[in-house]
Structure 1
Amino acid sequence: MDNRVTIARREIAGLRAEKTILLALGIQLFIAAFSSFLVVGLVSMYDPGALEGAQVETAVTGEAVAELEAAAADVEGVRARPYADSDAAAAAFADGRVDAVLVGTRRDGRIHVDATVPDSNVETTVIVVQLRSVLRTLEAAERDRRSDALSRPPLAVPDGGTSAPYYGFTYTVLVPVLVFVPAFISGSLTIDSITEEIDRGTLELLRVTPATLVEIVDGKALAAIGLVPAQVALWLGLLRLNGTPVAGVGRLLVLATAVAGIVVGIAAALAFLLPDRRAAQICYAMAMLALFGGASLLPRNPVNATARLAVDGADAGVTLTVGLVAGAAVAVVAVTRTIVVRAGP
């Protein structure tokens, strides 16, 4: 065990020269440390509906001005300005006095609305989201008005959920990224470490020492796997400091370590089967895609299991998934050690 620990310490000390790995760690550190700041911008891409409430000045004109004004009044952040005709509204839009234009016309007893928004503007997404809310409100009002003429009342539409999109994004996207990315980086690090030793011939020098080939690989894998729970614990701690509590930290660390064992084991095996660094990295990327796809066969997808653990919503399926992943990690490590032994000189 002393030989493995010595090699593991050597590997960790050598990380200072790996600029790519240090950059990846820095990016993860930035995401975790400033998560509450980044999530606001990221949620706008994950769920544009989260932008509802932004201030939008809208010109309304046409035959349905009253209806458009009433709909806009019910949407927070939208201010409707009536104009005599579409030309005046277009001129106000061109001058920048309004952010968008809504022209309502009546055709065959229905209201048709033409919307004009900025083209390729950073505010376009915000404006479109707000106008969508206005049009939905108008549609609901028209349906309520027409329902009086129906022979029977329509079915009531259930109220939408009130959960914040920031909550869903944080626990279904941000937390899984911070839990699993360190494992994938460790796998890539393992391939680089082993193939570099083979290319430079230093692996033969290491074999002159009392450490066996299996102990050398064990030491490298120990360093790569050991970094994962340390990183995950740090990232989750930074999330907590940013006001994002994460439950089930213990089982999350077990899951992250088990995934790291699988990934690092596969990476080490590929490094010995394909000593060429580029070929090994390509096969590693393909193996990770296959692994990600195969994970859907588990009782709970690891990403889903991570989200459930983080919100303290774990069930029997999540517990079973963690157990299966841990068992798979032990099996992969055992197979990898067998491959290393057969590699011989």
Structure 2
Amino acid sequence: MGKRLTVAKRELASLRSEKTIVLAILIQLFVAAFSSFLAVGLVSLYDPGSVSNQFVVEFGVTGEAREDIVPVIEEQDGWRTLEYSDEDAAMRDFDRGAIHAVLKVDRTPDGRARVRAIAPDGNVRTTLVVTQIKGVLETFERAERQRLRHSLERQPVELPPDSSSSPYFGFTYTVLVPLLTFLPVFVSGSIAVDAIAEEYDRGTLELLRVTPLTGVDIVDGKMLAMGVLAPVQAGAWLALLSFNGTAIANPVEILLLVTGFSVGVVTMGATAALAFRERKQAQFLFSMGVLVVFSSTYLLPESPANAVAKLAIGSPTQLTHLSVGAYLVVSLAAFVGLRRFVAKRGLGS
């Protein structure tokens, strides 16, 4: 074990000279340390409607069925309506900026409501206005379903429940926490590729061979350094998030999941480096492999990102716990397979 630790310390010491890696870690540290401050701006990109509390959208409503949608709009605090009997008059006020959007509501012969929405083009408020138009249409659809529920011959598909959760809550636990936990894993895998491929490029592998180290010792030491790096970073990021007021439930299980993924991804990186030995080819193969593998996990009943979000919120299911165990088992199996391959074939020349 002492030989492996010596190699691991050597690899960790060499990371200080890698400016790109250090910069990536510092960026993650900045995001985690100032998560409360950054969330305000990031949520405006994640959910533009969340920043509309101080902005009242004025809709110009026209059309023969405008009386049906006006009460729906007026029930909401952030929406106001101006009724127009003539669409041209509504468009004139829209063009001069008196109203933010125009909604023309008509009824088809079968009684259905047809809404044509007009929003500003290229305006800085366009995204916000479009988001509010979407909210109006969703609210109007629910009102129409409620009004016509007794006259329907068959039950239509149910709408998703009207969620009133905070967008900051959703962004933090479904985007920010998974990002900060898995980004160090991918960085560690990329470093593992360089750590092995550069031994071949520089010819330093021959120097390691004259030491008492075996091929398994060399690979184990490098993978130990890279595999430990991700859980340590993820633990630090979770601690900083907690310090900034973001409560993180089940941190130990989250770190177990990160550790399992770190072992698996670092194993992928080491395998790519041992197979190709040339840095560019190995990095390309590793990047494509990680992209395919991580994307395919979303086809599983419990993807890693969803598992981390559920664990962090404090609402894991039995499937979540089983998924954590499954990811650990698969990653360890891949690691054992790589060790056996190196023990049998060696590192080559």
Tell me the TM-score normalized by structure 2.
0.85
Please name the residue that 1:307 is paired with.
309
Deviation at 1:245, TM superposition (A): 0.7
Task: Report if the CA contact (8 A) 1:58-1:98 is conserved.
Answer: yes
Aligned-residue offset at 1:271? 0.9
SS of 2:246's equivalent in the other structure is coil
1:172-208: CA deviations, max 9, x gaps? 3322222122111101101112111210112222333
Shift, 1:224, TM fit: 0.6
Instruction: Classify 1:175/1:97 alpha carbon distance in 2 versus 1 (closer, same or farther; 3 Å).
Output: same
Superposition pairs of residues 286-297 of structure 1, within 5 angstroms: 286-293=288-295, 295=297
Structure 1 distance, partners of 2:65, 2:35, is 44
Aligned residues: 344
Name the CA distance, whole Å, in 2 between partners of 1:167 and 1:132: 21
1:51–1:129 contact (8 Å) kept in structure 2: no
Q: Retained in 2: the 8 A contact 1:57–1:99?
A: yes
Q: Which moved more, 1:27-36 or 1:257-266?
A: 27-36
Instruction: Flag the 1:147–1:315 CA change in 2: closer, same or farther, 3 A.
Output: closer
Q: Identify the residue that residue 124 of structure 1 maps to in structure 2.
A: 126
Distance 1:136 1:323 in 2: 41
Shift of 1:75: 1.9
Quick one: which amino acid aligns to residue 98 of structure 1? I
The equivalences for 1:130-279 within 5 A come to 130-141=132-143, 150=151, 160-279=162-281
2:335 corresponds to which of 333, 336, 341: 333
- Identical pairs, percent: 47
Supply the distance in 1 between the matched residues of 2:327 and 2:143 (Cα, whole angstroms): 52
For residue 23 of structure 1, what is the aligned residue in structure 2?
Answer: 23
- Name the structure 2 match of 1:7: 7
CA spacing shift, 1:86–1:2, aligned 2, 3 Å: same
What's the CA shift for 1:51? Answer: 5.6
1:34 matched to 2:34? The reply is yes
2:326 maps to amino acid: L
Matching residue of 2:323: 321
CA 1:168/1:142 → structure 2, altered by over 3 Å: closer, same or farther?
closer
| CA–CA separation in structure 1 for the residues paired with 2:21 and 2:262 | 16
Structure 2: give runs of 5+ residues left out of the alignment.
none
Q: Deviations over 1:123-169 (max 9, x none)?
A: 22211222233334444555555668x49998998963433343233
Deviation per CA, 1:212-260: give whole Å up to 9, x if none: 3322222211111111111001111121123211111111111111111
1:296-337 per-residue CA deviation (whole Å, 9 max, x = no partner) reads: 576633222222221222333223222222223332222222
Mean Cα deviation higher: 305-314 or 57-66: 57-66
Give the Cα separation in 2 of the matches to 1:204 and 1:119: 64
2:315 is paired with a residue whose SS is: coil
Give the direction of change, closer, same or farther, for the CA distance of 1:172–1:99 in structure 2 (3 Å limit): same
- Determine if contact 1:71/1:135 at 8 Å carries over to the other structure: no
The answer to whether the 8 A contact 1:99-1:118 is kept is yes
Gaps of 5+ in 1: none
CA separation in 1, counterparts of 2:101 and 2:88?
13
Secondary structure of 1:245's match? Answer: coil
| TM-score of the superposed pair, with normalisation by structure 1 | 0.86
Query: 2:215·2:346 contact (CA, 8 Å) conserved in 1?
Result: no
Which moves more between the two structures, 328-337 or 288-297? 288-297
In structure 1, the residue corresponding to 2:104 is in which secondary structure? strand
- Residue 175 of structure 2 aligns with an amino acid whose one-letter code is V
Which residue is 1:58 aligned to? 59
Alpha carbons of structure 1 residues 131 and 331: separation in structure 2 relative to 1, 3 Å: closer
Give, in whole Å, the separation in 2 of the partners of 1:141 and 1:317: 37
* Cα shift at 1:289: 3.2
